C-alpha cells in the first residue's frame, strides 16, 4: 500500500507545482499559502508514508530528531513568510523553487522522523511533541495572518480562486487556509501518535 501513498503524494505535488497556484495566481498570498499547505501538510506526509524502508530512519535514530525536524520546519515556515522572503518567492522563479523545495524537505523530514519508530515509546513521545509543536506555531501564524488588519504582503488587488481580492483579504484568507489545513493536520498527527503511545503503555501494564 505504500506505493499508493507515494503516487498520491507525487500527484498532489504535480497539481500544485504545475497548476495555477504558482502560475496564474502566483501574485496572491492566499494561493501561495494553499501551495505551501498542499506541499507541507498533504504531499509531504503521503510521500513520507510511501518511502521505501531504505530511505527511512532506522530504530537507532536519535529520539530527539523529530523535535529538531520541527525546529527546522519552524524556521522554514516563518522564514519564508517574512515579507521580504515572500517577495523573493513571488517575483523570482529561483526563489519559488527554493521556497517549495524547502517546504517539501522540511515536511518530509518531520513526518518521516516522527513516525519512524512509533512502537518505541521515546520515539512516539518525541514524534507527538514535534507534531503538536508544529501545530501550535502554525496556529499562531495562521491566526496572526487571518486577524491582522494591515496587509503585510502588498497593497494592490490580486486574483485568487477566481476571485478578486484586496491585499488585506488576500492575506486574511491565507491565514485561514493555514489554520484549516496545516494546524489541523499536524494536530491530528500529534494526537494520533499520543494515542498510540498510551495504547502501548496500557498493553505493557
The percentage of the chain sitting over the pLDDT mark of 70, rounded to a whole number, equals 93
Domain that holds residue 159: 2-204
- Longest distance between any two alpha carbons in the chain, whole Å: 61
Question: Does residue 119 surpass a pLDDT of 60?
Answer: no
pLDDT tens-place string over residues 73-98? 999 999 999 999 998 998 899 999 99
Q: What are phi and psi of 133, to 5 degrees?
A: -60, -40
Model pTM?
0.89
Judged by average pLDDT, the poorest of 57-71, 110-124, 132-146 is: 110-124
Mean pLDDT of the chain: 88
DSSP β-bridge partners for residue 160: 163
Q: What is the pLDDT of residue 74?
A: 97
Cell representation of residue 117: 519508530
How deeply is 156 buried, as exposed, middle or buried, from its count of CB atoms within 10 A (0-12, 13-18, 19+)? exposed
pLDDT tens-place string over residues 4-19? 999 999 999 999 999 9
Question: Does residue 201 surpass a pLDDT of 70?
Answer: no
Count how many domains the chain has. Answer: 1
Between 182 and 155, name the one with better pLDDT: 182
Amino acid at each position: 500500500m505504500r506505493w499508493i501513498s507515494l503516487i498520491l503524494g507525487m500527484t498532489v505535488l504535480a497539481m500544485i507545482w504545475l497548476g495555477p497556484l504558482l502560475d496564474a495566481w502566483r501574485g496572491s498570498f492566499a494561493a501561495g499559502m494553499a501551495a505551501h499547505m498542499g506541499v507541507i501538510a498533504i504531499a509531504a506526509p503521503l510521500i513520507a508514508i510511501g518511502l521505501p524502508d531504505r530511505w527511512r530512519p532506522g530504530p537507532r535514530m536519535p529520539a530527539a530528531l523529530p523535535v529538531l525536524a520541527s525546529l527546522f520546519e519552524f524556521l522554514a515556515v516563518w522564514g519564508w513568510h517574512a515579507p521580504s522572503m515572500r517577495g523573493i518567492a513571488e517575483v523570482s522563479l529561483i526563489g519559488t523553487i527554493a521556497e517549495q523545495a524547502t517546504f517539501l524537505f522540511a515536511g518530509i523530514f518531520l513526518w518521516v522522523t516522527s513516525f519512524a519508530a512509533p512502537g518505541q515509546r521515546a520515539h512516539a513521545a518525541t514524534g507527538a511533541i514535534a507534531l503538536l509543536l508544529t501545530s501550535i506555531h502554525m496556529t499562531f501564524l495562521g491566526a496572526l495572518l487571518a486577524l491582522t488588519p494591515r496587509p503585510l504582503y502588498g497593497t494592490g488587488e490580486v486574483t485568487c480562486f477566481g476571485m478578486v481580492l484586496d491585499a488585506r483579504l488576500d492575506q486574511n484568507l491565507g491565514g485561514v487556509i493555514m489554520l484549516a489545513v496545516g494546524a489541523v493536520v499536524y494536530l491530528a498527527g500529534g494526537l494520533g501518535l499520543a494515542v498510540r503511545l498510551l495504547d502501548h503503555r496500557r498493553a505493557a501494564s
